[in-house]
Structure 1
Amino acid sequence: MSLIFIFVLSACALKCYECIPDLSGSCTETTKDCPSNTQCGSIRLTSYAGGTKADVKVKGCAAAEECVQASVNYGVIQNLITSKCCTSDLCNSQDAPEGSISSPNGKKCFYCDGTDCSKTLNCNGNEDHCISTTVTAGGQKATVKGCASKVICSSTQTAQIPGIGEAEISCCQGDLCNSGSSTTVSLLLFVTPLISLVLFS
Protein backbone atom coordinates (compact mmCIF):
# COMPACT_ATOMS: atom_id res chain seq x y z
CA MET A 1 0.00 0.00 0.00
CA SER A 2 2.77 2.48 0.89
CA LEU A 3 4.51 1.73 -2.42
CA ILE A 4 1.33 2.75 -4.32
CA PHE A 5 1.06 5.94 -2.21
CA ILE A 6 4.68 6.89 -3.03
CA PHE A 7 4.07 6.24 -6.72
CA VAL A 8 0.94 8.43 -6.74
CA LEU A 9 2.77 11.27 -4.97
CA SER A 10 5.69 11.15 -7.40
CA ALA A 11 3.32 11.07 -10.36
CA CYS A 12 1.67 14.34 -9.24
CA ALA A 13 4.85 16.38 -8.79
CA LEU A 14 6.45 18.06 -11.81
CA LYS A 15 10.11 18.33 -12.65
CA CYS A 16 10.87 21.82 -13.98
CA TYR A 17 13.85 23.80 -15.16
CA GLU A 18 15.03 26.34 -12.59
CA CYS A 19 17.08 29.42 -13.40
CA ILE A 20 17.27 32.28 -10.86
CA PRO A 21 19.61 35.06 -12.06
CA ASP A 22 22.39 36.43 -9.85
CA LEU A 23 23.25 40.13 -9.55
CA SER A 24 25.01 40.06 -12.93
CA GLY A 25 21.83 38.74 -14.59
CA SER A 26 23.21 35.33 -15.49
CA CYS A 27 22.13 31.97 -14.10
CA THR A 28 22.89 28.28 -14.37
CA GLU A 29 19.91 26.21 -15.44
CA THR A 30 19.18 23.20 -13.22
CA THR A 31 16.19 20.91 -12.70
CA LYS A 32 13.96 20.86 -9.64
CA ASP A 33 11.15 18.69 -8.28
CA CYS A 34 8.22 21.03 -7.71
CA PRO A 35 5.38 20.84 -5.17
CA SER A 36 2.25 19.15 -6.50
CA ASN A 37 0.21 22.39 -6.48
CA THR A 38 2.55 24.26 -8.87
CA GLN A 39 3.32 24.42 -12.58
CA CYS A 40 6.54 24.91 -14.53
CA GLY A 41 6.99 28.56 -15.36
CA SER A 42 9.13 31.02 -17.27
CA ILE A 43 8.68 34.61 -16.10
CA ARG A 44 10.22 37.74 -17.59
CA LEU A 45 10.47 41.24 -16.13
CA THR A 46 11.29 43.96 -18.65
CA SER A 47 11.99 47.43 -17.24
CA TYR A 48 12.05 50.60 -19.32
CA ALA A 49 13.61 53.74 -17.81
CA GLY A 50 14.38 56.69 -20.06
CA GLY A 51 16.10 55.25 -23.10
CA THR A 52 17.35 52.10 -21.35
CA LYS A 53 15.86 48.63 -21.09
CA ALA A 54 16.65 45.86 -18.59
CA ASP A 55 15.49 42.28 -18.98
CA VAL A 56 15.36 39.67 -16.18
CA LYS A 57 14.36 36.07 -16.95
CA VAL A 58 13.42 33.53 -14.28
CA LYS A 59 12.46 29.85 -14.54
CA GLY A 60 11.16 27.52 -11.87
CA CYS A 61 8.09 26.21 -10.07
CA ALA A 62 5.22 28.69 -10.36
CA ALA A 63 1.92 28.99 -8.53
CA ALA A 64 -1.12 29.70 -10.71
CA GLU A 65 -1.25 33.34 -9.52
CA GLU A 66 2.32 33.90 -10.79
CA CYS A 67 1.33 33.00 -14.37
CA VAL A 68 0.28 36.52 -15.34
CA GLN A 69 0.68 39.33 -17.84
CA ALA A 70 0.93 42.58 -15.89
CA SER A 71 2.60 45.96 -15.74
CA VAL A 72 3.31 48.77 -13.32
CA ASN A 73 4.12 52.25 -14.60
CA TYR A 74 5.71 54.87 -12.36
CA GLY A 75 6.18 57.42 -15.15
CA VAL A 76 9.99 57.44 -14.95
CA ILE A 77 10.09 53.63 -15.12
CA GLN A 78 7.70 51.01 -16.46
CA ASN A 79 7.91 47.30 -15.60
CA LEU A 80 6.24 44.65 -17.76
CA ILE A 81 5.78 41.10 -16.45
CA THR A 82 5.07 38.27 -18.87
CA SER A 83 4.90 34.56 -18.15
CA LYS A 84 4.60 31.21 -19.85
CA CYS A 85 3.41 28.32 -17.66
CA CYS A 86 2.87 24.64 -18.47
CA THR A 87 2.03 21.35 -16.77
CA SER A 88 4.39 18.66 -18.05
CA ASP A 89 7.92 17.71 -16.97
CA LEU A 90 10.64 20.15 -18.11
CA CYS A 91 8.16 22.03 -20.33
CA ASN A 92 9.55 25.46 -19.35
CA SER A 93 12.66 25.30 -21.52
CA GLN A 94 11.73 28.46 -23.46
CA ASP A 95 11.83 31.99 -22.06
CA ALA A 96 8.61 33.91 -21.52
CA PRO A 97 7.87 36.31 -24.40
CA GLU A 98 9.08 39.88 -24.12
CA GLY A 99 6.41 42.35 -23.09
CA SER A 100 5.71 45.49 -25.09
CA ILE A 101 4.29 48.79 -23.91
CA SER A 102 0.59 48.96 -24.77
CA SER A 103 -1.49 51.91 -25.92
CA PRO A 104 -3.08 54.30 -23.38
CA ASN A 105 -6.38 52.93 -22.00
CA GLY A 106 -7.98 56.25 -20.95
CA LYS A 107 -7.29 55.87 -17.19
CA LYS A 108 -5.18 58.52 -15.43
CA CYS A 109 -3.19 58.36 -12.17
CA PHE A 110 -0.78 60.64 -10.34
CA TYR A 111 2.96 59.95 -10.52
CA CYS A 112 6.05 61.46 -8.92
CA ASP A 113 8.52 63.50 -10.97
CA GLY A 114 11.35 64.07 -8.51
CA THR A 115 9.67 65.41 -5.38
CA ASP A 116 6.49 66.50 -7.17
CA CYS A 117 3.82 63.78 -6.94
CA SER A 118 1.04 65.79 -8.58
CA LYS A 119 1.94 64.99 -12.20
CA THR A 120 -0.64 63.11 -14.30
CA LEU A 121 0.19 59.81 -16.01
CA ASN A 122 -1.77 58.06 -18.77
CA CYS A 123 -2.16 54.37 -17.94
CA ASN A 124 -1.49 51.72 -20.59
CA GLY A 125 -2.97 48.34 -21.52
CA ASN A 126 -4.29 46.42 -18.51
CA GLU A 127 -3.16 49.02 -15.94
CA ASP A 128 -6.59 49.49 -14.34
CA HIS A 129 -5.54 50.63 -10.84
CA CYS A 130 -3.64 53.60 -9.42
CA ILE A 131 -0.78 52.59 -7.11
CA SER A 132 1.24 54.23 -4.32
CA THR A 133 4.32 52.44 -3.01
CA THR A 134 6.10 53.65 0.11
CA VAL A 135 9.41 52.25 1.37
CA THR A 136 10.98 53.04 4.73
CA ALA A 137 14.77 52.82 4.54
CA GLY A 138 17.29 54.24 6.97
CA GLY A 139 14.55 56.06 8.86
CA GLN A 140 13.37 57.91 5.73
CA LYS A 141 10.20 57.29 3.76
CA ALA A 142 10.17 57.36 -0.03
CA THR A 143 7.07 57.16 -2.21
CA VAL A 144 6.35 56.53 -5.89
CA LYS A 145 2.97 56.61 -7.60
CA GLY A 146 1.61 55.47 -10.91
CA CYS A 147 -0.55 52.93 -12.75
CA ALA A 148 -0.68 49.16 -12.17
CA SER A 149 -2.46 46.02 -13.30
CA LYS A 150 -4.92 44.48 -10.87
CA VAL A 151 -2.65 41.47 -10.24
CA ILE A 152 0.15 43.73 -8.94
CA CYS A 153 -2.25 45.22 -6.42
CA SER A 154 -3.77 41.92 -5.31
CA SER A 155 -0.41 40.16 -4.84
CA THR A 156 0.52 41.95 -1.62
CA GLN A 157 -0.13 45.04 0.48
CA THR A 158 3.13 44.82 2.44
CA ALA A 159 6.41 43.28 1.35
CA GLN A 160 9.95 43.00 2.69
CA ILE A 161 12.68 44.04 0.26
CA PRO A 162 15.99 42.47 1.34
CA GLY A 163 18.54 45.14 2.23
CA ILE A 164 16.01 47.97 1.91
CA GLY A 165 13.16 47.47 4.36
CA GLU A 166 9.40 47.24 4.42
CA ALA A 167 7.36 48.44 1.47
CA GLU A 168 3.70 49.36 1.70
CA ILE A 169 1.60 49.09 -1.44
CA SER A 170 -1.81 50.71 -1.74
CA CYS A 171 -4.05 50.65 -4.81
CA CYS A 172 -7.34 52.23 -5.79
CA GLN A 173 -9.68 52.37 -8.76
CA GLY A 174 -10.86 55.58 -10.34
CA ASP A 175 -9.02 58.35 -12.16
CA LEU A 176 -6.41 60.20 -10.07
CA CYS A 177 -7.45 58.38 -6.89
CA ASN A 178 -3.83 58.04 -5.65
CA SER A 179 -3.40 61.67 -4.61
CA GLY A 180 -1.29 62.67 -1.64
CA SER A 181 1.68 64.68 -0.52
CA SER A 182 5.02 64.95 -2.27
CA THR A 183 8.07 62.94 -1.29
CA THR A 184 11.65 64.02 -0.62
CA VAL A 185 13.50 60.84 -1.66
CA SER A 186 13.61 59.16 -5.07
CA LEU A 187 12.42 55.55 -5.01
CA LEU A 188 13.55 54.72 -8.55
CA LEU A 189 16.21 52.26 -7.34
CA PHE A 190 13.65 50.35 -5.25
CA VAL A 191 11.05 49.78 -7.96
CA THR A 192 12.50 46.79 -9.83
CA PRO A 193 13.41 44.83 -6.67
CA LEU A 194 9.92 45.49 -5.33
CA ILE A 195 8.17 44.19 -8.43
CA SER A 196 10.52 41.22 -8.59
CA LEU A 197 9.74 40.44 -4.95
CA VAL A 198 5.99 40.70 -5.45
CA LEU A 199 5.91 38.39 -8.44
CA PHE A 200 8.74 35.97 -7.78
CA SER A 201 8.53 35.31 -4.02
Structure 2
Amino acid sequence: MQFYSELPIAHLQEYAHHKSEEEGPHFPAAVSTNTNSSQGLQCYSCEGESNCLEPHVCREHQNRCRTTVMSTLTPQGLSTYYNKDCDISGKANNSISYLSNNEVVFLAEEHCERELCNEHAPNVLDVLLARGRPKKLMHCYSCGSADGSCFNSSLAQMRCSRPGEQCVDITSFSEPEEFSQDEQHIKGCGQLTHCQEPLGFHNGNSFYLIKCCDSSLCNKETQDYKASPLPLNGVMCYSCEGNFSQGCAPDDITQTRCRGPMNQCLEASGIDGVSGQSLVIKGCASSSWCDSPYTSIYKNLGGLHLRCCTEDLCNSQIVDGTTLKPSPRSQASCNPTAQPVLLLATLLLWVAFCLCSESS
Protein backbone atom coordinates (compact mmCIF):
# COMPACT_ATOMS: atom_id res chain seq x y z
CA MET A 1 0.00 0.00 0.00
CA GLN A 2 2.16 2.81 -1.33
CA PHE A 3 -0.40 5.06 -2.94
CA TYR A 4 0.96 8.30 -1.48
CA SER A 5 4.36 7.79 -3.08
CA GLU A 6 2.63 7.22 -6.42
CA LEU A 7 0.50 10.39 -6.35
CA PRO A 8 1.52 12.45 -9.42
CA ILE A 9 3.53 15.56 -8.61
CA ALA A 10 1.23 17.48 -10.97
CA HIS A 11 -1.75 16.50 -8.81
CA LEU A 12 -0.04 17.86 -5.70
CA GLN A 13 0.98 21.06 -7.51
CA GLU A 14 -2.62 21.60 -8.66
CA TYR A 15 -3.83 21.00 -5.11
CA ALA A 16 -1.28 23.47 -3.75
CA HIS A 17 -2.39 26.09 -6.29
CA HIS A 18 -6.08 25.77 -5.41
CA LYS A 19 -5.33 25.73 -1.70
CA SER A 20 -3.37 28.96 -2.03
CA GLU A 21 -6.25 30.62 -3.93
CA GLU A 22 -8.78 29.50 -1.33
CA GLU A 23 -6.81 30.77 1.61
CA GLY A 24 -5.51 33.93 -0.01
CA PRO A 25 -2.52 35.84 1.33
CA HIS A 26 -1.88 35.31 5.02
CA PHE A 27 -0.25 37.99 7.12
CA PRO A 28 0.96 37.68 10.71
CA ALA A 29 -1.20 39.32 13.33
CA ALA A 30 0.03 42.67 14.51
CA VAL A 31 1.58 42.06 17.91
CA SER A 32 4.19 43.90 19.87
CA THR A 33 7.28 41.85 20.67
CA ASN A 34 8.44 44.35 23.29
CA THR A 35 6.82 42.36 26.05
CA ASN A 36 7.50 43.19 29.66
CA SER A 37 9.83 40.41 30.87
CA SER A 38 7.69 40.04 33.99
CA GLN A 39 4.90 38.69 31.79
CA GLY A 40 6.97 35.73 30.66
CA LEU A 41 7.56 34.32 27.22
CA GLN A 42 4.96 34.85 24.50
CA CYS A 43 4.09 32.07 22.03
CA TYR A 44 1.40 31.61 19.43
CA SER A 45 -1.25 29.37 20.98
CA CYS A 46 -4.21 27.97 19.05
CA GLU A 47 -5.41 24.90 17.20
CA GLY A 48 -7.32 24.30 14.01
CA GLU A 49 -7.04 23.79 10.28
CA SER A 50 -5.13 27.01 9.55
CA ASN A 51 -1.64 28.11 10.60
CA CYS A 52 -2.97 30.28 13.39
CA LEU A 53 -1.18 33.30 14.85
CA GLU A 54 -2.75 34.18 18.18
CA PRO A 55 -0.22 35.36 20.82
CA HIS A 56 -0.41 33.97 24.34
CA VAL A 57 1.62 34.68 27.49
CA CYS A 58 3.15 31.48 28.85
CA ARG A 59 2.96 30.30 32.43
CA GLU A 60 6.02 30.62 34.63
CA HIS A 61 7.19 27.03 34.15
CA GLN A 62 6.80 27.17 30.35
CA ASN A 63 9.90 28.50 28.59
CA ARG A 64 9.56 27.24 25.01
CA CYS A 65 7.14 27.54 22.12
CA ARG A 66 5.80 24.47 20.31
CA THR A 67 4.21 23.74 16.96
CA THR A 68 2.64 20.32 16.33
CA VAL A 69 1.36 19.60 12.83
CA MET A 70 -0.62 16.59 11.63
CA SER A 71 -1.16 16.30 7.87
CA THR A 72 -3.25 13.58 6.25
CA LEU A 73 -2.69 12.74 2.59
CA THR A 74 -5.27 10.97 0.42
CA PRO A 75 -5.68 10.79 -3.37
CA GLN A 76 -8.18 13.65 -2.96
CA GLY A 77 -5.65 16.00 -1.39
CA LEU A 78 -3.90 17.07 1.79
CA SER A 79 -5.53 18.23 5.03
CA THR A 80 -3.56 19.69 7.91
CA TYR A 81 -4.30 20.25 11.59
CA TYR A 82 -2.19 22.69 13.63
CA ASN A 83 -1.66 22.84 17.38
CA LYS A 84 0.51 25.64 18.79
CA ASP A 85 1.18 26.49 22.42
CA CYS A 86 3.71 27.20 25.13
CA ASP A 87 5.71 24.21 26.31
CA ILE A 88 8.44 23.07 28.68
CA SER A 89 12.13 22.63 27.93
CA GLY A 90 13.83 19.30 27.30
CA LYS A 91 11.92 18.05 24.26
CA ALA A 92 13.48 17.25 20.91
CA ASN A 93 12.07 17.93 17.46
CA ASN A 94 10.85 14.73 15.83
CA SER A 95 8.75 13.61 12.89
CA ILE A 96 7.03 10.45 11.70
CA SER A 97 4.77 9.28 8.88
CA TYR A 98 2.62 6.14 8.79
CA LEU A 99 -0.42 4.54 7.18
CA SER A 100 -3.79 4.49 8.93
CA ASN A 101 -7.19 3.72 7.46
CA ASN A 102 -5.82 3.89 3.90
CA GLU A 103 -4.43 7.37 4.49
CA VAL A 104 -0.89 8.59 5.08
CA VAL A 105 -0.44 10.56 8.31
CA PHE A 106 2.51 12.94 8.63
CA LEU A 107 3.21 14.16 12.15
CA ALA A 108 5.90 16.66 13.16
CA GLU A 109 6.68 18.67 16.26
CA GLU A 110 9.13 21.56 16.58
CA HIS A 111 10.23 23.63 19.58
CA CYS A 112 11.94 27.03 19.89
CA GLU A 113 12.74 29.42 22.72
CA ARG A 114 12.45 32.97 21.34
CA GLU A 115 9.53 35.36 21.64
CA LEU A 116 6.73 34.32 19.23
CA CYS A 117 9.16 32.00 17.44
CA ASN A 118 6.52 29.39 16.53
CA GLU A 119 5.06 31.46 13.70
CA HIS A 120 5.98 29.00 10.97
CA ALA A 121 4.96 25.34 10.76
CA PRO A 122 6.44 22.30 8.97
CA ASN A 123 4.90 22.00 5.51
CA VAL A 124 4.52 18.43 4.26
CA LEU A 125 3.47 19.60 0.80
CA ASP A 126 6.76 21.46 0.33
CA VAL A 127 8.68 18.32 1.30
CA LEU A 128 6.77 16.14 -1.15
CA LEU A 129 7.03 18.60 -4.05
CA ALA A 130 10.73 19.25 -3.48
CA ARG A 131 11.92 15.72 -2.99
CA GLY A 132 11.85 14.57 -6.65
CA ARG A 133 12.60 10.87 -6.91
CA PRO A 134 15.71 10.10 -4.82
CA LYS A 135 16.93 6.59 -5.51
CA LYS A 136 17.72 5.51 -1.97
CA LEU A 137 14.59 6.29 0.00
CA MET A 138 13.66 3.62 2.53
CA HIS A 139 10.64 1.37 2.41
CA CYS A 140 9.15 0.49 5.80
CA TYR A 141 6.31 -1.56 7.18
CA SER A 142 3.56 0.72 8.44
CA CYS A 143 0.48 0.61 10.66
CA GLY A 144 -1.35 2.64 13.28
CA SER A 145 -3.45 1.95 16.36
CA ALA A 146 -6.48 3.72 14.93
CA ASP A 147 -7.23 0.92 12.45
CA GLY A 148 -5.89 -1.99 14.54
CA SER A 149 -3.48 -3.06 11.82
CA CYS A 150 -0.27 -3.41 13.83
CA PHE A 151 -0.83 -7.06 14.76
CA ASN A 152 -1.86 -8.19 11.29
CA SER A 153 0.24 -10.97 9.80
CA SER A 154 0.39 -9.01 6.53
CA LEU A 155 1.59 -5.48 7.25
CA ALA A 156 1.27 -2.69 4.70
CA GLN A 157 4.38 -1.06 3.26
CA MET A 158 5.15 2.59 2.58
CA ARG A 159 7.88 4.55 0.86
CA CYS A 160 9.56 7.18 3.06
CA SER A 161 9.38 10.80 1.93
CA ARG A 162 12.88 12.12 2.62
CA PRO A 163 16.50 10.92 2.82
CA GLY A 164 17.77 10.22 6.33
CA GLU A 165 14.54 8.69 7.63
CA GLN A 166 14.59 5.35 9.41
CA CYS A 167 12.00 2.63 9.85
CA VAL A 168 10.42 3.09 13.28
CA ASP A 169 8.35 0.93 15.62
CA ILE A 170 6.64 2.57 18.61
CA THR A 171 4.62 0.90 21.37
CA SER A 172 3.17 2.50 24.47
CA PHE A 173 0.44 1.56 26.92
CA SER A 174 -0.64 2.26 30.47
CA GLU A 175 -1.83 -0.06 33.25
CA PRO A 176 -4.66 -0.07 34.03
CA GLU A 177 -5.87 1.20 30.66
CA GLU A 178 -8.19 4.16 31.20
CA PHE A 179 -8.84 5.27 27.62
CA SER A 180 -8.60 3.67 24.19
CA GLN A 181 -5.71 6.02 23.39
CA ASP A 182 -3.72 4.55 26.28
CA GLU A 183 -2.53 1.72 24.04
CA GLN A 184 -0.65 2.99 21.00
CA HIS A 185 1.23 1.29 18.21
CA ILE A 186 2.82 2.97 15.23
CA LYS A 187 5.12 1.67 12.52
CA GLY A 188 6.38 3.84 9.69
CA CYS A 189 9.13 6.23 8.60
CA GLY A 190 10.62 8.81 10.91
CA GLN A 191 13.42 11.01 12.13
CA LEU A 192 13.64 10.43 15.87
CA THR A 193 16.47 11.68 18.00
CA HIS A 194 18.59 9.27 20.07
CA CYS A 195 17.10 6.23 18.34
CA GLN A 196 20.32 4.36 17.51
CA GLU A 197 19.51 1.80 20.23
CA PRO A 198 16.09 0.65 21.53
CA LEU A 199 14.57 3.33 23.77
CA GLY A 200 12.56 1.79 26.57
CA PHE A 201 10.98 2.59 29.94
CA HIS A 202 8.46 0.73 32.08
CA ASN A 203 7.10 0.67 35.60
CA GLY A 204 3.86 -0.44 37.22
CA ASN A 205 1.95 2.26 35.34
CA SER A 206 3.49 2.62 31.88
CA PHE A 207 5.34 0.84 29.09
CA TYR A 208 7.20 2.60 26.27
CA LEU A 209 9.42 1.03 23.62
CA ILE A 210 10.77 2.87 20.56
CA LYS A 211 12.91 1.09 17.97
CA CYS A 212 14.53 2.40 14.79
CA CYS A 213 16.44 0.56 12.07
CA ASP A 214 18.33 1.55 8.93
CA SER A 215 17.44 -0.99 6.25
CA SER A 216 14.28 -1.28 4.19
CA LEU A 217 11.45 -3.29 5.76
CA CYS A 218 13.46 -3.92 8.94
CA ASN A 219 10.56 -3.05 11.28
CA LYS A 220 8.47 -6.16 10.67
CA GLU A 221 8.24 -7.45 14.26
CA THR A 222 4.64 -7.58 15.53
CA GLN A 223 5.06 -8.69 19.15
CA ASP A 224 2.18 -7.89 21.50
CA TYR A 225 4.09 -6.80 24.62
CA LYS A 226 0.99 -7.15 26.80
CA ALA A 227 0.22 -10.73 25.77
CA SER A 228 3.90 -11.73 25.39
CA PRO A 229 6.02 -9.52 27.69
CA LEU A 230 9.73 -9.05 27.11
CA PRO A 231 11.93 -11.46 29.09
CA LEU A 232 13.06 -10.55 32.60
CA ASN A 233 16.66 -9.30 32.75
CA GLY A 234 17.35 -9.87 36.46
CA VAL A 235 17.20 -6.21 37.58
CA MET A 236 14.76 -4.97 40.22
CA CYS A 237 13.79 -1.26 40.54
CA TYR A 238 11.41 0.89 42.54
CA SER A 239 8.30 1.96 40.64
CA CYS A 240 5.96 4.93 41.06
CA GLU A 241 4.42 7.78 39.12
CA GLY A 242 2.85 10.93 40.57
CA ASN A 243 3.44 13.52 43.28
CA PHE A 244 4.40 13.10 46.91
CA SER A 245 0.85 12.89 48.20
CA GLN A 246 -0.49 10.50 45.59
CA GLY A 247 1.39 8.15 43.29
CA CYS A 248 4.89 8.49 44.73
CA ALA A 249 4.12 8.68 48.42
CA PRO A 250 6.04 6.03 50.43
CA ASP A 251 2.98 3.77 50.59
CA ASP A 252 2.56 3.95 46.80
CA ILE A 253 6.10 2.94 45.81
CA THR A 254 6.35 -0.69 44.66
CA GLN A 255 9.07 -2.90 43.21
CA THR A 256 9.21 -3.82 39.51
CA ARG A 257 11.13 -6.62 37.81
CA CYS A 258 12.77 -5.11 34.73
CA ARG A 259 12.39 -6.53 31.24
CA GLY A 260 14.19 -6.53 27.91
CA PRO A 261 16.69 -3.71 27.33
CA MET A 262 15.38 -1.77 30.36
CA ASN A 263 18.21 -2.84 32.67
CA GLN A 264 18.82 0.36 34.64
CA CYS A 265 16.82 1.93 37.45
CA LEU A 266 15.54 5.43 36.67
CA GLU A 267 14.18 8.14 38.90
CA ALA A 268 13.25 11.63 37.75
CA SER A 269 11.49 14.68 39.09
CA GLY A 270 10.21 17.68 37.18
CA ILE A 271 7.40 20.13 36.60
CA ASP A 272 4.28 18.95 34.81
CA GLY A 273 3.97 20.91 31.57
CA VAL A 274 0.24 21.57 32.04
CA SER A 275 -0.44 21.83 35.77
CA GLY A 276 2.93 23.17 36.89
CA GLN A 277 2.96 20.65 39.75
CA SER A 278 6.06 18.77 40.84
CA LEU A 279 5.99 15.12 39.77
CA VAL A 280 8.22 12.08 40.27
CA ILE A 281 8.74 8.97 38.14
CA LYS A 282 10.58 5.76 39.05
CA GLY A 283 11.01 2.59 37.03
CA CYS A 284 13.20 0.59 34.64
CA ALA A 285 14.89 2.18 31.63
CA SER A 286 17.32 1.35 28.86
CA SER A 287 20.64 3.21 28.90
CA SER A 288 19.64 4.98 25.68
CA TRP A 289 16.44 6.25 27.33
CA CYS A 290 18.49 7.57 30.27
CA ASP A 291 20.62 9.62 27.84
CA SER A 292 17.69 10.94 25.79
CA PRO A 293 14.87 13.54 26.08
CA TYR A 294 12.05 10.97 26.09
CA THR A 295 11.17 11.27 29.78
CA SER A 296 10.31 14.89 29.04
CA ILE A 297 8.52 13.97 25.80
CA TYR A 298 6.33 11.15 27.09
CA LYS A 299 5.74 12.42 30.61
CA ASN A 300 5.58 16.13 29.66
CA LEU A 301 8.01 17.13 32.41
CA GLY A 302 10.13 20.28 32.38
CA GLY A 303 13.00 21.33 34.63
CA LEU A 304 13.88 17.66 34.68
CA HIS A 305 16.29 16.12 37.17
CA LEU A 306 16.98 12.59 35.96
CA ARG A 307 19.15 9.89 37.48
CA CYS A 308 19.86 6.32 36.33
CA CYS A 309 21.81 3.63 38.17
CA THR A 310 22.71 -0.03 37.69
CA GLU A 311 22.20 -1.71 41.08
CA ASP A 312 18.99 -3.36 42.27
CA LEU A 313 16.59 -0.87 43.93
CA CYS A 314 19.13 1.95 43.61
CA ASN A 315 16.54 4.51 42.42
CA SER A 316 15.64 5.60 45.94
CA GLN A 317 17.46 8.92 46.30
CA ILE A 318 14.81 11.37 45.06
CA VAL A 319 12.70 11.80 48.16
CA ASP A 320 11.38 15.37 47.91
CA GLY A 321 11.49 17.09 44.55
CA THR A 322 15.13 17.08 43.49
CA THR A 323 16.39 16.37 47.01
CA LEU A 324 18.74 13.39 47.00
CA LYS A 325 19.03 11.07 49.96
CA PRO A 326 22.74 10.49 50.74
CA SER A 327 23.95 7.15 49.42
CA PRO A 328 27.78 7.04 49.38
CA ARG A 329 27.90 3.43 48.15
CA SER A 330 25.70 4.08 45.12
CA GLN A 331 27.25 3.73 41.68
CA ALA A 332 24.58 6.00 40.23
CA SER A 333 25.39 8.95 38.06
CA CYS A 334 23.36 12.08 37.55
CA ASN A 335 22.39 12.34 33.89
CA PRO A 336 20.65 15.60 32.97
CA THR A 337 18.31 15.15 30.04
CA ALA A 338 20.09 15.68 26.75
CA GLN A 339 19.51 18.99 25.02
CA PRO A 340 17.08 18.83 22.09
CA VAL A 341 18.58 17.85 18.75
CA LEU A 342 17.21 20.05 15.96
CA LEU A 343 15.70 17.75 13.36
CA LEU A 344 13.63 19.56 10.77
CA ALA A 345 10.15 18.65 10.70
CA THR A 346 7.47 15.03 18.69
CA LEU A 347 6.19 13.05 17.74
CA LEU A 348 5.51 11.50 21.09
CA LEU A 349 3.62 14.11 22.91
CA TRP A 350 2.72 13.96 19.26
CA VAL A 351 1.65 10.32 19.42
CA ALA A 352 -1.02 11.01 22.02
CA PHE A 353 -2.08 14.19 20.22
CA CYS A 354 -2.29 12.41 16.89
CA LEU A 355 -4.31 9.42 18.04
CA CYS A 356 -6.71 11.55 20.04
CA SER A 357 -7.28 13.74 16.98
CA GLU A 358 -7.90 10.69 14.79
CA SER A 359 -10.49 9.25 17.14
CA SER A 360 -12.44 12.49 17.59
The TM-score normalised by the length of structure 2 is: 0.37
Give distance in 2, aligned partners of 1:93 and 1:158.
23
1:45-72 CA-to-partner distances (Å, cap 9, x unmatched) read 1425147895312233235853755542
Aligned partner of 2:291 in structure 1 is 154
Aligned partner of 2:201 in structure 1 is 72
1:155-201 CA-to-partner distances (Å, cap 9, x unmatched) read 22763569x55263432222222112167xxxxxxxxxx9945999x
- Identity, % of aligned positions: 22
Cα shift at 1:110: 1.7
Amino acid at match of 1:10: P
Give distance in 2, aligned partners of 1:104 and 1:33.
35
Aligned residue for 1:12, secondary structure, equals coil
Give distance in 2, aligned partners of 1:133 and 1:195.
21
| Distance change >3 Å, CA 198–CA 167, structure 1 → 2 | farther
Give distance in 2, aligned partners of 1:66 and 1:133.
21
Aligned partner of 2:173 in structure 1 is 47
Aligned residue for 2:319, secondary structure, equals coil
Is this contact kept in 1: 2:295–2:301, CA < 8 A?
A: no
Give distance in 2, aligned partners of 1:8 and 1:195.
25
Q: Which runs of 5+ in 2 are unaligned?
A: 1-129, 149-155, 242-246, 322-345, 353-360
| Distance change >3 Å, CA 131–CA 95, structure 1 → 2 | same
Is this contact kept in 1: 2:166–2:212, CA < 8 A?
A: no
Aligned residue for 2:290, secondary structure, equals helix
| Distance change >3 Å, CA 173–CA 199, structure 1 → 2 | farther
Cα shift at 1:96: 3.9
Aligned partner of 1:101 in structure 2 is 229
Give distance in 1, aligned partners of 2:134 and 2:276.
49
Give distance in 1, aligned partners of 2:295 and 2:199.
19
Is this contact kept in 2: 1:16–1:40, CA < 8 A?
A: yes
Aligned partner of 1:143 in structure 2 is 280
Q: How many residues align?
A: 175
Give distance in 1, aligned partners of 2:307 and 2:350.
13
Which structure features the higher share of strand residues?
A: 1
Is this contact kept in 2: 1:109–1:176, CA < 8 A?
A: yes
- Structure 1 residue 14 and structure 2 residue 138: aligned? yes
**Which protein shows a greater Rg?**
2
Aligned residue for 2:291, secondary structure, equals helix
Give distance in 2, aligned partners of 1:198 and 1:147.
23
Give distance in 2, aligned partners of 1:71 and 1:111.
15
Is this contact kept in 2: 1:62–1:85, CA < 8 A?
A: no
Give distance in 2, aligned partners of 1:195 and 1:111.
26
Give distance in 2, aligned partners of 1:139 and 1:84.
32
- Structure 1 residue 58 and structure 2 residue 195: aligned? no
Give distance in 1, aligned partners of 2:219 and 2:293.
29
Aligned-residue Cα RMSD (Å) equals 4.5
Aligned partner of 1:112 in structure 2 is 240
Aligned residue for 1:155, secondary structure, equals coil
Amino acid at match of 1:150: S
Aligned residue for 2:237, secondary structure, equals strand
Aligned residue for 2:162, secondary structure, equals coil
Amino acid at match of 1:155: S
Aligned partner of 1:186 in structure 2 is none
Q: Which runs of 5+ in 1 are unaligned?
A: 1-5, 184-193
Aligned partner of 1:133 in structure 2 is 268
Cα shift at 1:83: 4.5
1:2-37 CA-to-partner distances (Å, cap 9, x unmatched) read xxxx9998113336576666xxx459x996643322
Aligned residue for 1:159, secondary structure, equals helix
Aligned partner of 2:302 in structure 1 is 166
Give distance in 2, aligned partners of 1:112 and 1:145.
5
| Distance change >3 Å, CA 7–CA 158, structure 1 → 2 | closer
